[in-house]
Amino acid sequence: MSDIDLIYGLHSARAALAFDAARVTEAWLDKRRRDARLQRLREKLRAAGCAMHEVEVRDLRRLVGEVAHQGIVLRYAGAPPQDASDLDDFLDRMVGPPLLLVLDQVQDPHNLGACLRAADGGGVDAVIVPRDRAVGLTPVVRKVAAGAAETMPFFQATNLARCLRELKDRGIWLIGAADEAEQSLYSADLTGPLALVLGAEGKGLRRLTREHCDVLVALPMAGTVESLNVSVATGVTVYEAWRQRHPLNPGAH
């Protein structure tokens, strides 16, 4: 994927302008929409000196297709994902035990966007994904993430198994989520240097990924369904880690 993308929607546009306005190079807006939210974005675009085009809805559809663009499309030269080889430098700069999220072959952009949003809200320090057979930071991911794609450190690993081994060598504990695990998520210690490892939609963790985990945990299921969507499971898992890591001040940042 090119690191220059068209992104769309009010949340994505607002996040790009708030966190990375210099990378917004061009904007197309629905000329017929004059509601307050779009007007505020027009003002931010003018302040950023961005080239703006007032167009018809059909022109927006030509750019991004039949999606919920909400009257705005931006050309955004977003920062590309970082390579996993840069993880050591990133972790060396951290203060305190890291909390990482590893997503094994998540291919649905809506799921990845929702995972990034949950990771951002739950205090995750970085997200790691494999480079192959996994979705990257697409426009849909950025829209669903509602700003988290612009702020969450995002690493792609050419060899995920090797990356996991290197994390273990640094003393980072790998806890994988697996439906068949005997230990509950809620009985696991999630307070130290930690990487939470979750698998793809439907298939879960690959065998090699699972074998690299120090512990496998299951999310208790009280109903008839066997498992949760990966983005929901990510939210549950990340927030349990947050709860354990901030027991006296759950609103801490």
Output the six-digit token pair for 253: 């940042």
Which tens digits make up the pLDDT trace of 150-170? 889 999 999 999 999 999 999
Which tens digits make up the pLDDT trace of 8-31? 888 888 888 887 788 888 999 999
Cα radius of gyration (the chain): 20
Residue ranges of domains in the chain:
5-76, 82-245
Instruction: Check the annotation: does 219 bind a ligand.
Output: yes
Which tens digits make up the pLDDT trace of 198-229? 998 777 899 999 999 999 999 888 776 667 78
Q: What is the pLDDT of residue 250?
A: 52
Q: What is the pTM of this model?
A: 0.80
Instruction: Check the annotation: does 17 bind a ligand.
Output: no
Q: How far apart are CA 136 and CA 17, in angstroms?
A: 21
Q: Is pLDDT of 1 > 60? A: no
| CATH architecture group of domain 5-76 | 2-Layer Sandwich (3.30)
Nearest to 186 by CA among 241, 141, 119, 133: 241
| CATH architecture group of domain 82-245 | 3-Layer(aba) Sandwich (3.40)
Instruction: Check the annotation: does 199 bind a ligand.
Output: yes
Which tens digits make up the pLDDT trace of 90-132? 999 998 999 999 999 999 999 999 999 999 999 999 999 999 9
